[in-house]
Amino acid sequence: MRTQVAIVGGGPAGLLLSQLLHRQGIDSVVLESRDRDYVEHRQRAGMLEQGTTDVLRDSGVGERLDREGLVHHGLELRFGGAGHRIPLTDLTGRTVTVYAQTEIVKDLVACRLADGGDIRFEAEVLEIDPSAPSVTYRHEGAVHTLACDYVAGCDGFHGVSRPAVPGLRTFSRDYPFAWLGVLADVPPSTEELIYAHHERGFALHSLRSPKVSRLYLQVTPDEDLDAWPDDRIWTELAARFATDDGWELREGPITDKAITPMRSFVAEPMRHDRLFLAGDAAHIVPPTGAKGLNLAVSDVTVLANALAERYASGSESLLDAYSATCLARVWRAEHFSYWMTTLLHADPAADDFTRRLQRSHLDYVASSQAAATSLAENYVGLPL
């Protein structure tokens, strides 16, 4: 078996890359270790930069996004019993859109299959050869080898692609907290996201739809999920979101809950021979900056353009520049995500001096147009 591009991983990065290549007339095969039901129903948040929504529309999968996505023109920083709005669109001319990663995956799977795309679910990748490019995998009880021109490793942080790159240099940081995220069948209590800093810990009020809310609480990394019954979650959320003007949090049935550790991670370079890493296979950001999915979209957009240039003209200049091009954006997003995380979370090891500095910084961002613009510019996303 042979294809032009073998794509390891059928998450949003791998599926979008396959779609972008298809639009350029380039063949690909997507190898995904999980079954289709798991891939299409794995719960993930989705705050999309304007550049990401533009890419999805241009790739032909923007119809449901435009119909159901929730466009936001601002966000709220909440601390000291008061809210402070950051007017994203007024400051940058750009917007963000809430549309769950889960739904993006459904859209991409449906579009690729309708176009005759080759997605092989439950395909366990056994070996990647980056030099004489091929991927060996087990599917339906048999072992196969897929020969190709290039391999795209889009299989996430725990995938097999990154270990196939020799001599990687890695950079990482683990944070002393995690997020307890819940999905609740209750209309959101806000029209825009609320990022709340509180002495008891960070909280985030996001939206999934006009009838479904997504909320997060800062907890310890070793937190026991069983120690958080629904009543305790709602009580803690209400305490951290409380304002002096009596704002009230709506409560409803919680349909999903999970604890997510927080880390920053970058692997360099993002290419070895004919193997290219993209998305979480190469980098992880804490979710505070809402950059994970957007970085993956940026990576595969750069890669798709580079491959299109290679097949159109024979030039490999864009492929040669792939790692450096992507890493420039990755490190900017890493810094912004780190900055948002340390600005808003309660560090259990912080002394009083550090806490006062943190509060002073929050006051500055809320009162300075220059500081607010810097936050807004990074949040809506730098141009692709």
Active-site annotation, residues: 72, 195, 287, 291, 379
| Three-state DSSP state, 317 | helix
CA distance readout (Å), 261 to 181, 223, 284: 11, 10, 11
| Residue at token pair 């891939």 | 39
Residue 234 backbone phi and psi in degrees, to 5: -65, -40
Kindly write down the DSSP assignment for every residue of 203-231, as one continuous string: EEEEEEETTEEEEEEEE-TT--GGG--HH
Q: How many CB atoms lie within 10 A of CB 210?
A: 10
Task: Report the phi/psi class of residue 141: left, alpha or beta, with left for phi > 0 and alpha for psi in -120 to 50.
Answer: left
Q: What is the DSSP letter of 2?
A: B
Q: In 3D, which of 244, 196, 16, 214 has the Cα closest to residue 117?
A: 16
Distance between CA atoms of 331 and 156, rounded to whole angstroms?
18
For residue 376, report the phi and psi dihedrals to the nearest 5 degrees.
-60, -45
Measured CA to CA in angstroms, residue 76 lies from 41, 87, 192, 253, 346 at distances of: 29, 9, 7, 25, 18
Amino acid type, 63: E
Q: Which amino acid is at 276?
A: F
DSSP string, 142-183: EEEEEE-SEEEE-S-TTSSTGGGSTT-EEEEEEEEEEEEEEE
Residue (of 3, 10, 77, 17) closest to 326 by Cα position: 17
Which bin fits 140, alpha (ψ -120 to 50), beta or left (φ > 0)?
Answer: left
**CA atoms 121, 124, 126, 130: torsion sign:** positive
CB 110 within 8 A of CB 103: no
